[in-house]
Chains A and B, each alone.
Chain A
Amino acid sequence: MSILISQDTRFIVQGITGREAVNLTRENLDYGARIVGGVTPGRAGRDVYGVPVFDCVRDVVAKEGKVEGSVVCVPPNFTRDAVFEAIENGIELIVVVTENVPRKEVAQMVELATLRGARIIGPNCLGLISPGEAKMGGIGGPAANTRQAYMPGNIGVMSRSGGMTTEIASTLTAAGLGQSTCVSIGGDAIIGTTYAELMPHFAADPETHAIAIYSEPGGRMEAELAEWVKANDSRLPIVAFMAGRFMDEMQGMRFGHAGTIVEGKEDTTVEKIERMRAAGISVAERIEEIPALIGKRLEAAS
């Protein structure tokens, strides 16, 4: 099993005729995704790898009925409106690939999604994958590369870096540990869905046995996760990797992603690692230690 997406998820791609979106559509179709339509205003009637293009999300819904998801791949200036359009047409899972969307607009998107009961993944993310079933977004790249790195199994993966999602999955796969669902949650200061908000989904999935996460300096997301773990006595062991330790000495400098900056003590890796460990989360020193740490935690739990 998996969370959020499965082989039955029917979704659309907004901005489908853009260069990046064309690639992503091809890669997702090749991996088995059910893309029922694409949207680019003014381009209705065309198709992208057999996926019909519409002017409005409303037109896809009118033709196809309920659509579960959308991948938003439009320039930053149009992102908020595209997400609003998806939400107002009843789409409940929206993956926002676009980078450089100002925080206020992200907050507005998230607020509307919350009002309407929709979920946003991203922005500034590569999407999500339930290996062997389907993927939404550029995660893993071409289908052949995706199959090489990801394998069906029982580990849930969450990562603030799109590329590192694949690096971790690839490391798990090499160690014989498959994945239930891997989510690139996005690298911005405000994102639609945090680690702690995904945990209840993983906890409710009987096929997920453990969690691997990639984290960075900046923000309070790790603290939020630590609090969730303490409050919920979760059955799922968590192993985290913390990158960017050198940034602790470089206050006020931004590296990597928009949300990756040390502005106060709570943003440092030292503080985050301490909080996570205090909550019972194992913290790996290197990526390649993750599989063994997960193995150890699973053994201890059984």
Chain B
Amino acid sequence: MRFYEYESKELFRRHGLPLGRGRVATSGAEAHEIAAEIGGPVVLKSQVLSGGRMKAGAVQFAETPDECPALFDAIMPIEVSGQTARSVLVEEKSPVAQEYFVSVTWDGRRKLPVLLFSDMGGIDIEEVAEKHPDHVSKTHFSTLLPLSPRIAKEAIAATGVGGSTLNRLTPIVFELMQIFLSYDLTLAEINPLARLEDGRFIVLDGHVDLEAEARGQHEALLAELGIGADETRQAREPTEFEIAGRKVNQVDHRGVAGNVVEFDGNLGLVIGAGGGSLTLFDAVRNHGGKPANYCEIGGNPSVGKVCELTKLILAKPGVSKIAVMMNVVSNTRVDIVARGVVKGCIESGKDPSEVISIFRIPGAWEEEGFKILERYGVEYCDRSVSMYEAAGRAVAKLGA
């Protein structure tokens, strides 16, 4: 989950990284007030969860506080890669002598954290790596051995940086490596890290991503930064349908059913598991079908959970039929899912044989499951019908 720039900077501030003066404004008047406090030229930056702000015109400069309210009003409505601004960060504008790039992330191939450093910051790092490979260093480091500043020093020196600049950069880069590991981040980036004309260093821009799996271990930090427990910080905000789905999943602790993603089609999908859902969603689309949702059943969810999921999907406007499909299951019991979807249809006031276009879940307890479906006249198939073919049958029924 990505942090806003102002949240990332608050985290940096706590660890002593050097930052310019400033804070977040939620109104033009407040922007004016902050600029007056700073007492010099300022930069106003849209707080959005995506890059590309400069290009979109969501970063503006003001020489005097009086210019700030109008700039604030101009920045707020600008969409940057589909994201709208939460607020505007007003910071002092500093005369920059040189910009650097520092980033720590995971390398899934080497299975280690990797530190990227460049003395050509501020611009696209991939472009720098391509055109000036000797100005980018890539340094893997251990998660087991004690973290040591020499790793940062070597990474910086590898790009040709020396003298007092090397000695002043080393503790900043080292601190970022420590922040990365101590908060279970998947990305900690400062770009640019600026050397000012007076020799000081400050973090001009930066952001961090916290691993969703580690959220529970950093609840205190999230609360202090004001990040709500229901904020997913995905590429887009969750819809009402998706929030309702999460509640379905919290009905009990048995299995998973309810982590839905909303789409605007007409075929409701009760599908699983992780890989099976990806395969089936593709299959429905390949047949020309329009899914109303994505979801994943996994583990061994209770009848109640599957029932509530079914009801949620059937209640979605435009959904007339659902397809219930999974790969060959081993942990999920076919009969429990069958019972759950049938119950969900009935409780929605619908006839299961009309609403369920196909039931394709082969595997553990399938005979018991198929018996239930037969009793309600629901079309089902075993593993001799492929996932792709089952999806095709569901799509065909909707067209008929």
Contacts and interface: CB of A to CB of B under 8 A. Distances in A.
Interface of A: 76, 100-104, 106-108, 110-112, 115, 126, 138-142, 145-146, 149, 159-164, 166-167, 170-171, 174, 187, 189-190, 194, 214, 216, 219-221, 224, 241, 243-247, 250-260, 286-288
B364 interface: yes
Interface string B182-196: 001010000000000
B234 A252 contact: yes
B327 A163 contact: yes
12 contacts: A102-B217, A111-B144, A112-B144, A145-B363, A161-B327, A164-B276, A187-B274, A190-B108, A246-B278, A256-B277, A260-B278, A288-B389
B279 interface: yes
Interface residues of B, number: 50
Contacts of A164: 275-276, 279, 327
B164 interface: no
Contact of A111 (B106, B111, B235): B111
Given A141-B330, A243-B278, A258-B213, A190 B363 contact: no
B235 A141 contact: no
Contacts of B217: 102
B282 A244 contact: yes
Contacts of B329: 141, 163, 166
A143 B34 CA distance: 68
B384 A174 contact: yes
Dominant secondary structure of chain B at its interface with chain A? mixed
Contacts of A255: 261, 277-278, 294
A228 to B, nearest CB: 11
A86 to B, nearest CB: 16
A209 to B, nearest CB: 23
A104 B218 CA distance: 14
Interface string B235-250: 1100000000000000
B375 interface: no
B5 interface: no
The 7 closest A-B pairs by CB, nearest first: A161-B275, A141-B330, A252-B235, A244-B278, A167-B327, A164-B275, A243-B278
Contacts of B296: 256
Given A167-B387, A250-B235, A160 B364 contact: no
Nearest to B363: A145
A220 B283 CA distance: 24
Nearest to A165: B275
B285 interface: yes
Contacts of B174: none
Given A149-B328, A286-B388, A104 B143 contact: yes
Contacts of B326: 163
Interface string B255-280: 00000010000000000111111110
Given A104-B214, A259-B108, 13 more contacts: A103-B213, A141-B329, A149-B328, A162-B275, A163-B274, A163-B328, A164-B327, A166-B329, A194-B109, A241-B279, A251-B235, A256-B274, A256-B275
B213 to A, nearest CB: 5
A244 B184 CA distance: 27
A288 B331 CA distance: 23
Interface string B24-51: 0000000000000000000000000000
Contact of A103 (B184, B277, B328, B383): B184
B340 interface: no
B165 interface: no
Interface centre among A110, A139, A146, A167 (most CB of B within 10 A): A167
B97 interface: no
